[in-house]
Amino acid sequence: MSTVLVTGGAGFIGSHTCVELLASGHVVVVVDNLVNSSARAIAAVEAVSGRGVTFVHGDVADRSTLDGLFARHGFGAVIHFAALKAIGESVAEPLRYYGNNLGSVVTLLEAMQDAGCRNLVFSSSATVYGNPTNAPIDETVRLEAVNPYGRTKLMGEEIMRDLCAADQRWKIVLLRYFNPVGAHPSGELGEDPRGIPNNLMPYLMQVAVGRREKLPVFGGDYPTRDGTAIRDYIHVVDLAQGHVAALGVLDELASGCHAFNLGTGTGSTVLELVRAAEEVIGRPVPFEIVERRAGDAVAVWADPTRANTALRWRATRDLRDMCRDHWAWQSTHPYGFGDAPEGS
């Protein structure tokens, strides 16, 4: 139990992690510039937790903001979620992605070093495996990135590996998430993408709630059991608990960088996810099989053995739980934390 600085704590995964941190007795301080989130997420974290969070509206790439935080609080560890994450946008605006995602990594590490806090949990991603061909994927698979967003995650990891090699006092846990979906079971907290969703589950749920006409299923001719691509969907609450588990074992870990896959170890096709969603929603979700999406891998799922063992953590929620909880959120908050547009 310690005071934890959570960067990007108003976002999808960060907000759910705040709930789990509070439930396990940690004191939580969030810094977020709200570039892709709403302060209402922080209010929802407090409401479902029945505990308070210190929220600072600020940029992690701004050194003075961080110095102010480190001067006021004695952080036991930092969890660094803050980043931009849209792949297409990263191709169109690479400098914004490198500036934001890597600027915040370097600034945060410098501020931590100067404050003498050297315990960090970093949001990495299965994107650091590029487009792997042999699932399940364990942490020894060769690292490569295939777009600017992915490179910011891989370079972020590399910066941290270099830092750990230079200074043995650092302990850094790199958590490589597979496909986070779902929402808090209360229905009060969930993913709230801006604009057209890039990811499958939020798109599907916006169709189900009537905001979009039908789900495009990208590719029906993959060499899989039903022709659609396979991913390892993981409930965001399981993922959030993985962060609490990582903090819990920090003391036991040797110094240096440690990478862990956070996934369920089970792959599901796009159509299996659609069917699971239809079951909990109670009616069909319109979809249409269209062209494959450029750059998509056929089948990706995690080997989470290392996390299961070293973090004493495992994902327990299945596809039905993910769909049920996501629907509880989307159906009661069709426009997320925002207000419905006029005339809708």
Residues binding ligand WQD (CB under 6 A): 85, 87, 125, 127, 179, 198-200, 203, 215-218, 229, 231, 270, 293, 296
Kindly write down the DSSP assignment for every residue of 281-328, as one continuous string. HTS---EEEEPPPTT--SB--B--HHHHHHS-------HHHHHHHHHH
- The least distance separating ligand NAD from the CB of residue 320, rounded to whole angstroms, comes to 20
How many of the other CB atoms lie within 10 Å of CB of 253?
16
Binding partner selected for residue 216 from ligand WQD, ligand NAD, none, CB under the kind-specific 5 to 8 Å limit: ligand WQD
* Residue placing its CB nearer to ligand WQD in the complex, 75 or 129: 129
Strands 215-218 and 287-290: parallel
40 binds ligand NAD (CB under 6 A): no
* 66 three-class SS: helix
Candidate list 70, 75, 81, 203; residue touching ligand NAD; CB under 6 A: 81
Helix axes 236-249, 12-23, angle to 10 degrees: 60
Query: What residues numbered 150-179 form the site for ligand NAD, per CB under 6 A?
Result: 177
- Which stretch of DSSP H or E encloses residue 27? strand 27-32
From candidates 10, 78, 79, 246, binder to ligand NAD by CB under 6 A: 10
Binds 218: which of ligand WQD, ligand NAD, none (CB < 5-8 Å by kind): ligand WQD
282-287 contacts at long range (C-beta below 8 A, 24 or more positions apart): 285/204, 285/207, 285/208, 285/215, 286/207, 286/213, 286/214, 286/215, 287/204, 287/207, 287/214, 287/215, 287/216, 287/217
Active site residue 97: no
In the bound state with ligand NAD, the residue whose beta carbon lies nearer, of 37 and 269, is 37
Distance CA 271, CA 265 (A): 18
Nearest to 329 by CA among 208, 238, 226: 208
Minimum gap (Å) between residue 29 Cβ and ligand NAD: 13
143 versus 254: smaller Cβ distance to ligand NAD? 143
Q: Please, which residues bridge with residue 231 across strands? A: 268
Reference 179, options 248, 241, 230; nearest CA is 230
76 binds, among ligand WQD, ligand NAD, none (CB under 5 to 8 A by kind): none
- Which is the catalytic residue, given 97, 129, 149, 233? 149
Q: Is 109 in the site for ligand NAD (CB under 6 A)?
A: no
| Residue selected from 85, 118, 151, 184 as contacting ligand NAD according to rule CB under 6 A | 85
Residue closer to ligand WQD by CB (options 233, 313) is 233
One-letter amino acid for residue 26 of the chain: H
Question: Catalytic amino acids?
Answer: 149
Q: Which residues bind ligand NAD (CB under 6 A)?
A: 7-8, 10-14, 31-37, 59-61, 81-85, 100, 104, 123, 125, 177, 180
